[in-house]
Each structure stands twice: as C-alpha cells, then as structure tokens.
Structure 1
Amino acid sequence: MAGKIRHLVNRSGRYHARLVVPKDLRHVIGKTELRTPLGADYRQALKMLPNAVAQLQNQIAEAERKSGQGAKPARYPLAPDQIAHAHYMQRLAFDDELRNDRRWPSVGIDDGYVEQLRYAIAGRADDKELEELVGSQIERFRKVGNLDAKQGSDEWRAIARALCSAEYEALERVYERDEGDFSGTPTAPIIVNAQPPEKPQERVSLNGLWKDYVLIRKQAGFMRDGGKRQSVAIDSLRKFLKHDDARKVTKKDLLAWRDNLIKTLAAKTVSDVYLSTVRSLFSWAVENDRLPENPATNVRQPKPRKVYGRERGYTDAEATKLLSACRAYKPKPDEFGNIRESDRMVQTKRWVPLLCAFTGARVAEITQLRKEDIRKEDGQWIARITPDAGTVKSGGYRDVPLHPQVIEEGFVTFLESSKAGPLFHTATDPAKYEQFARTTAEKLSKWLRTANLVPEDVQPSHGWRHRFKTLCREQGIPDGTYDAIQGHSGKTASANYGDVTLKTKQNAIYKLPAYLLS
C-alpha cells in the first residue's frame, strides 16, 4: 500500500513542500521547518514538488556548510528514477526562469552533446565520460544528501545514466519551447514511471508501546502491579538491540536476543517471561494498528519438562512439623540478650504459614493483609484478600472464611492487639504495600528453608496451594468452590455462571481437618 507523498503537506486547501530542519541545524537556520507554497492544484503541486524540495535541501546543505559539519551523506536518499525526475523538473524550472529575463538569448542545442547523452543512456559510456557529462549534477545531489554512491560503482553508474536520460528529456522540452510549444511531456520510462518518495515510516518507541500496553491491561483489570515482572523483558530487549524503535525489530533480532538470554537464564524463564511478554506486546500492537506485523510470532524457546520426584505439596507429616515449628517460634536473643528481630517478622513466622494452610492463598496475598481486611460476619471470621492492600493476581477481591483452628490458635487476640494497617509489614504508604508484602514473603520463605522445614522440591509457600487443593479433593469439595477460595479462574464457560457464596466457602473450609500441633 502506497504511503503518503514525502515532503508534501496540505494546509487549508493549499499544498506546500515541507522539510523538517535537523535539530543540529536549527540554531543556524532559525526555524524548525522549511516550506515552499505549491498552489491548490494537486497534480501541479506534484510536478513542482521535486524542484521545491531540492531547493529546500540546498538550504539545509548550505546551513551544514556554514556550521562546519559538511553535508551528511544520504540524509535524504533517493532512487535513481527519483533523482532523474527531480533533475528533469529542476532543469525545466530553470529554463522558465531564464525565459523571464529579456536579456536571455535563444541558444541552439549542441548536437554533439545530445549524441553523447544518447551514447551514455545506452550504457556505452565509461566512467570518465559519465563524469564529464553529469558528474557535477551527481555531486549536487550528493551534497544535499540524496545519494552516497561511490564513483564507478554500479549504483553510481545507474544514477549517472538516469541523469543523462533526464538531461536528454529536458533538452527535448527546451527545443519544443524554443518553437513555442510548452505542452510537451517526457517519454522516457525512468521519468514517466518515477514514483514520488514515500513518507518514511514513523518511529514507534518500544518503551512507549509497552507503557500504552500496560495502561490498557490495567484498565481491563490486569497487570495491577504495572507489569513489573514483565518489564524486565522489555528493558532487556532494548538494551540488547541498542535502539528503541519497535518497527526495526525483526525475527532475526529476537532469535539473537533469545540465544543471548539462554546463556544466563533458565529456558523456562526465557520462554514464559521474556519471549511471552514480547510476543504479547507485539500481538497487541498489530491488533491496534501500531505495528504492521508481529516478528515474535514464531520465536520460541524449548523448555525441558520438569520431572517431579514427589508430590508438589506438603505431606501430612511435613505440614504438621512446619506449622508446629511456626506456632512455637520464639526469636533468639543475641549475645547481649537483646532481641533484634522485629515483632512484625515474629508474627509473620507464627501466623502466615497457618493462614496459607487453611486458605490456599499466595503467600504475598497473606503478608499484605491489613487489620481492616479481617471482619466478623454472622459469627464467622472472614479475611478479604483485596488489591487495595497490595496485589491480587486474579485482579479482584475475594472473601475467604477463616478455619476454626485459626481462631482457636488465638488469631483474634493477635488481631485485636495489632494497630490499624498492615499486620505483617511496616509500610505506611499504600503505594509501597505490595513491595513490603513481597519482601516479607521472601524473608519468610528464606527462613523456612534455613530452618530445614521445607522438603527439597517443594516451594516454601506455594506448597500450601498444592496441599490445599489435595485436601479439598479428598473431602469431595467441588473444584469450582476451591478455585474460588484460592482465586483461580474457572476452566470452563459454565464455571463463570453463578456465585460461590460465603456459606459455600465456609462449608468447604470447615471440612478441612485440623492439624495436631505440638
């Protein structure tokens, strides 16, 4: 699909040739852009455009010379046919200027020069002969940045022959005009079929694309954390590419990036975090007409299938041992008899594993709980897991009834003695709740491993989510019920119909057996 005509703009029904002044030359020219009026007729404007643009480019080149930079090669690159068309239009425009001067004498056309042009157009002229014929014109286009071909190269010869064609056609028009005929048009295919330069594709910032994508996802109820985990993939890609233009990203680039990532990261991380993030971003960009294609569609990273040597959740004995140690936990004094550990961390070790065991919640969802998130309703204590306190992977809040053993262990007493706000971390700014909750969860997991309370191949906190599901299945609890308790989405369309009420959740949780804690 053809793009917009480069350097042509319409302002209030009239056309103009427009050229943006490079930032490094604006202090010399004193403007951010240059314009030349071309009238209201579109076809006439197209005819006048090449000459007008060439004059504007000459102003840019002159400014470069004044600034001491020298013209930058191929700043405004043109194909041979476009150069030929531009020269043809400039040659006729110059002829018009000369005919407006009464002192201009009509000079006959040199037949020898015409014959040399035909000889060159046929491809029979050598480099020296081409240089003598149109070398000065080639340098003129080079100075304004339309080409950077080396003399004698195939590209240089193609441009030289194109200019010879343009010069020959222009001389034919001059001859016709000398006879009073100003209706002549070019016949050489390289002039007739020359396409106006297309407007170059605008740069699409990869970072800007990511910000827009995250905003849309957050508006839809996803990525409530701002895509922090996935943003590392975008940062990594930009650093690897050494540019920020999403339009320039190719499949080859992404394959090279993937191969570089796999040197330091696990295959699962590369596949599920890095490639998945970029693939989703580019897919969204294509759907919203921000990019023409998704270069990441078929870029994959094979990952080994993990083989588990045991169940992924805690066994009865392991769960009982861990919870017993946590409920009995007392901080050790240092050599001077002082307790260095904060009371919040002590309470985290005592209560968070027990709450995870009976709710199946993610550990960070428990460590972000606030005093106001726990309430008593119709005689039942209920914890509300809400994104207002930090983050919830599923996006919305959910209410989870507390198991009787949690109450029997004294959780209400702990709750009543706590200050308003977070129960297990010390952040006072809601914007930092999520960060502090995650840090607390990480500290808890580290302690559980250090204390040898977590078996190998079991995740310290995620092991409770696996165990919770196992226990629910043993008790015959429907999967839709325990999914609602844990914040998992339904697996079928029918699962999204109807509500799992608090009463249903309470009945399910009350079926879970208590632990015999020492």
Structure 2
Amino acid sequence: MAVSRLQIWLQRLIMMAGRPRNLVDRNGRYHARLVVPKDLRGIIGKTELRTPLGGDYRQAIKLLPGAVAQLQHQIALAERKISAGTLRTGPARYPLAPDQIAMSHYMQRLAFDDELRNDPRWPSVGIDDLLVQRLRAAIAGLADDAELADLVGPQIERFRASGNLDATPGSDEWRVIARALCSAELEALERVAERDEGDFTGTPTAPIIKNAQPPQSATAPVSITDLWTDYVQVRQRLGYMKDGGRRQELAIKSLIKFLRHDDATKIKKKNMLDWLENTLQEKQPSTVSKVYLPTIRSLFRWATEQDRIKDNPAVGVRLAARKPIHNRERGFTTEEAMELLTAVFNYQPKTSQNGKAMEGEKVTAAKRWVPWLCAFTGARVAEITQLRREDFREAGGNVTIRITPEAGGTKTGQWRDVPVHPQIIKLGFLDYLHTIKSGPVFHNAKEQKKYQTSAKKTANRIGDWLREQNLVPEGVQPSHGWRHRFKTVGREIGIQDRVLDAIQGHAARTAGDDYGDVTLSTKINAINRLPEYEIL
C-alpha cells in the first residue's frame, strides 16, 4: 500500500510539474544541469555543471532538487571567490518558492540519511524529542525570529548562498521560508524514524512538501542594461542619439533601481505601473511623460520586435497627462520682444575695481547675441549656443548659419541652413564673429565630445539669467517663446508654413511636403521679409 501511495504521489508531481527545470535527458540517462553564468566561467572552468541522476525518471525527479542545490552551491562558492569572500547580495539568481525550498531540503536530508546508514554507528544515534517539539511549535507560528534562526538559520543561509532566496532576516518572507524549512526538517525526521524501523516507503504528509512542484523551465535572464546598450547602438546607426542617449539613460537607471534587478524577463505590467507611480513622486510629470515613459516603452517595443524578450511589459502603460492651461499666447509679444532684445543688446558685464570684466567674453556674447539669433531664426536655444565659427558662411552679401549635429546635436539629427537677418549684421554681430578663429562661438569646450554638454549649459544659463532680469513673462519659455513668435510673425507676413518649418527644423506635416526642396534662396527671401525690431 505504501509503495502504491508513493507511486501515486510521484505521478501526480510529474503531471503537475510538466518539464522540470535543470533536468536533461541524454540517451536515456537523466542529469541535473545548471548553466554557469558568463562572469563565473573563468573561475569554474566550465560553461555548465552536471550531476548524473540515473535512468529512472521518477528516481531522477526525486534526486533532482538535492542535486541542483549542490550545483548551485558550487556557483555560490565561485561568486564568493570573485567578490573576494564577500557574500552575494541583491536579487536571487535562482529563486525558489518556499515550498520548493522545503522540498529541496527534505530530499537532501533523506539523501544524507542514505549515506549515513552506511556507517555502522548511525543506528545508535537517537532522534532529539525536544527538537521535534521545537519544530512543531515553529511550524505553528509560536517561535520568534531568534528561535527560527537557531532552528534553520544555517539552512536559510545555505539556500541564500546558492542564489535561491534574498529574503531579509526577520521579514515576513523570511519567516515563511523558515517555517517551511521547519516542516521539511520535521518530515525528514519522521522518515528517519520510519527507516530506523526498516520502513523506507514513507512519503511526506505536510502539504507544503506533498504539493510542492519542481521549478518550471525558466526563461533565460535578459539584462535591461544590455538591451539599452544594443538599442542605443541601433539608433545611432540610424542617425539618432548622437550623445548616446544620455538623458534617456536616466529612465533606464531609474527603472533598474526601482526593480532592484536587471532582468527584463521578470518585469510585469504591475511592476511598470508601480515604477511609474513612484517616479511621479520624484520627477516632474512633464519629464516622466516626455522622457522617462517614452524611453522605456520604445526600448521594450524594440526588444520585443527583435525577439529579445517574449512580452512587452510596457504595453498599455500610459500617463494621463493633464492638458496644460494657457492664460496667454505662448510666444513673446512685440512689446516683450523689443524690451528683451533691447536689454540684451545693451548688456554690459559687471567689472572688477580695476575695470576688468568679471565674466568670459563668450558668456557675454551669448547673453547679447543668442536671443537675437533665436528671434530671427526660430531655432532652439541650444542649437544656437552650439554654433562654431565654421558653421557661419558668407557669400554674395549674405551670411548663413549651418545648424548641424556635428556641432552638438539637433532634435531631428539633420542639418539645415538658416540665413542671418540683416538687422543682426547691422548691429555688429560680425565684428564679434570675426574675433573667433575656429571652434565654438558661445562656449569654451575644446573637445567635440563635450560640445553638446557645454552648449546646453550655456543655453540653460541664458534662460536663468533672462528670468532673473524679469525679461521672460510668466507662461513663456525663453527658448520656445521665440519659436512660437517666429512662426506667428512669419504667418502674419504671408510666409508659407513649409518654408517656416524648413527654417526652424520642424518635420514635414504631410507626405506632400516631403517632395521638392525649400532652397536657400527661398529661405533668404523669407528671412529678409521679417520686420526689424525697434531698439528702445
């Protein structure tokens, strides 16, 4: 009868479990198999570890948990060696549920008992009745953390070292695991007592062990960091992310920090929603909606399309953005524009007692000329602050700016030529420009890889300074205020939107707009039609 019960239990376990993880069949012989992580292969000397389990499937299933635990322990020893003896921290590499941990411990205890019975001294070792009482009390929830640690603390740490758990001592998760191990220990002692009487047919009765399922085949981990690195490289080959996605990378780091792991296959939609809610507590909604969430969604969409991950956890994750309320026009009015341009044109830096300017020449020039260039080009401030001497061309009495990613970056990743308005020439901008032999006109970076960062710092500095001078009205942005005004003025004097878009670097609105070119001559005519600003 006992053999029949064991067979029924094993068959039920097999049917419920499906194909157990870490079990391989090689020509009718079963083995426990564990892949060695890449960073540990140099220490272990192998790409995988195996332990033979024999030719009987049911016996192999029985021995599998203990064999896998031993292989995981070898991995843990290698991890300790590579980290100079420090214990591994962070998410479990081979996580097991409490019932799986209990089953593994139970099987290992019985396997150890089999070995000990070859020693003739073993039968004389009795079972500690006090230990049995303590285990039963612990299972019932009557033991405190110290008692649980005394009973099964070493076993918990062994499973932790094997990468099966990461529960914090004293937490609810830790106590569940501890009680599960107490159940496994008590069941093992009951089998030992039965074996002492010659009965080797006993099976576990505790539900946590009786109903435990071997771990299912798991998807190999996919590093979020590696996905991001590959994604950036792909985007750069297409002409985007010239800066390596520096700003977007903050979203990737934020997600990994929140998840406390780097495995994309473990992420569920609930994790994404929780991350989104947490991020909104730390960042402005506009930053989350325009940078963080689009970055994560684009990455996982690409990873799914490339079959790097099976499911996209970001599908359906959206941020309900409140529609902004505008109490005025978003661009500068004519009066506001004249006041600002007059102030910057007449700007003089503070001087020391000996009459020396207390700021660099390029900073002064940026404050004085960048707003004027923005007013007559509709360009983004950072596109102007990144300009180099070689980006200016003089031909046929006209001065043209080439706004190019090489100087730092453009939102579209494309270059464009923009004429300089005659009023800027009339006010003396070329006198300053001719003092620059080569390189950046408005910042002091020496290496090209630092151009974009320096240009953005200068742009932010100008914006902050204009606000400090009360030259930017409430509800207007220093950069986009000019972009909005440029489009408004252009429409008022009858310049076609397609021409304005080409000057400002806006994408084509329709497929038809992509046909034909807006020539430099057309742009020059449009810019020259813009009315001059009266300096107050």
Q: Flag whether TM exceeds 0.5 (same fold).
A: yes
Amino acid at match of 1:271: S
Shift of 1:197: 6.0
Amino acid at match of 2:516: G
Please say if 1:374 is aligned against 2:392.
Answer: yes
Task: Call closer, same or farther: CA 1:49–1:20 in 2, change over 3 Å.
Answer: farther
Aligned counterpart, 2:251: 233
Please say if 1:209 is aligned against 2:209.
Answer: no
Q: For 1:64 and 1:507, how far apart are their aligned partners in 2?
A: 72
Task: Call closer, same or farther: CA 1:476–1:58 in 2, change over 3 Å.
Answer: closer
Q: 1:315 aligns with which of 302, 314, 333?
A: 333
Task: Call closer, same or farther: CA 1:472–1:159 in 2, change over 3 Å.
Answer: farther
Aligned counterpart, 2:13: none
Amino acid at match of 2:288: V
Aligned counterpart, 1:451: 469
Aligned counterpart, 1:474: 492
Moved over 4 A (4+): 2-5, 8-12, 14-17, 20-33, 36-39, 43-65, 73-80, 142-160, 194-198
Please say if 1:501 is aligned against 2:485.
Answer: no
| Residues 17 and 49 in structure 1, CA contact (< 8 A), matched pair in contact too | no
Task: Call closer, same or farther: CA 1:260–1:483 in 2, change over 3 Å.
Answer: same
Amino acid at match of 2:483: R
Q: For 1:211 and 1:54, how far apart are their aligned partners in 2?
A: 38
Amino acid at match of 2:22: H
Please say if 1:407 is aligned against 2:422.
Answer: no
Please say if 1:18 is aligned against 2:36.
Answer: no
Shift of 1:224: 2.0
| 1:34-77 alpha-carbon deviations (Å, 9 max, x no partner) | 335799xxx99999787688656557679999x9xxxxx99777
Shift of 1:250: 2.1
Q: For 1:4 and 1:412, how far apart are their aligned partners in 2?
A: 76
Q: 1:295 aligns with which of 305, 313, 333?
A: 313
| Residues 98 and 180 in structure 2, CA contact (< 8 A), matched pair in contact too | no
| 1:330-381 alpha-carbon deviations (Å, 9 max, x no partner) | 1122355432111111111121111111111000100110000101234421
TM-score (norm. length: structure 1): 0.70
| 1:190-241 alpha-carbon deviations (Å, 9 max, x no partner) | xxxx999643212222222222222222222222222222222222222222
Shift of 1:452: 1.9
Task: Call closer, same or farther: CA 1:47–1:345 in 2, change over 3 Å.
Answer: same
- For structure 1, the 5+ residue unaligned runs are 68-72, 95-126, 128-138, 161-169, 172-193
Matches within 5 A, 1:326-345: 326-335=344-353, 337-345=355-363
SS in structure 1 at match of 2:443: coil
Bigger mean CA offset, 231-240 vs 345-354: 231-240
| 1:257-306 alpha-carbon deviations (Å, 9 max, x no partner) | 22223334333333222222222222222222122222222222222211
Matches within 5 A, 1:347-366: 347-366=365-384
Amino acid at match of 1:438: K
Aligned counterpart, 2:434: 416
Q: 1:436 aligns with which of 454, 470, 479?
A: 454
Please say if 1:483 is aligned against 2:498.
Answer: no
Matches within 5 A, 1:281-292: 281-292=299-310
Please say if 1:465 is aligned against 2:483.
Answer: yes
Question: Aligned pairs, how many?
Answer: 452
SS in structure 1 at match of 2:281: coil
TM-score (norm. length: structure 2): 0.68
Aligned counterpart, 2:22: 7
Q: For 2:447 and 2:41, how far apart are their aligned partners in 1?
A: 46
| Residues 18 and 53 in structure 1, CA contact (< 8 A), matched pair in contact too | no
Q: For 2:95 and 2:485, how far apart are their aligned partners in 1?
A: 65
Aligned counterpart, 1:133: none
CA RMSD across the alignment:
5.2
Aligned counterpart, 1:305: 323
Q: For 2:226 and 2:75, how far apart are their aligned partners in 1?
A: 33
| Residues 25 and 64 in structure 1, CA contact (< 8 A), matched pair in contact too | no
Q: 1:35 aligns with which of 46, 50, 58?
A: 50
| Residues 223 and 263 in structure 2, CA contact (< 8 A), matched pair in contact too | yes
Q: For 1:388 and 1:396, how far apart are their aligned partners in 2?
A: 10
Amino acid at match of 1:19: L
Q: For 1:62 and 1:320, how far apart are their aligned partners in 2?
A: 75
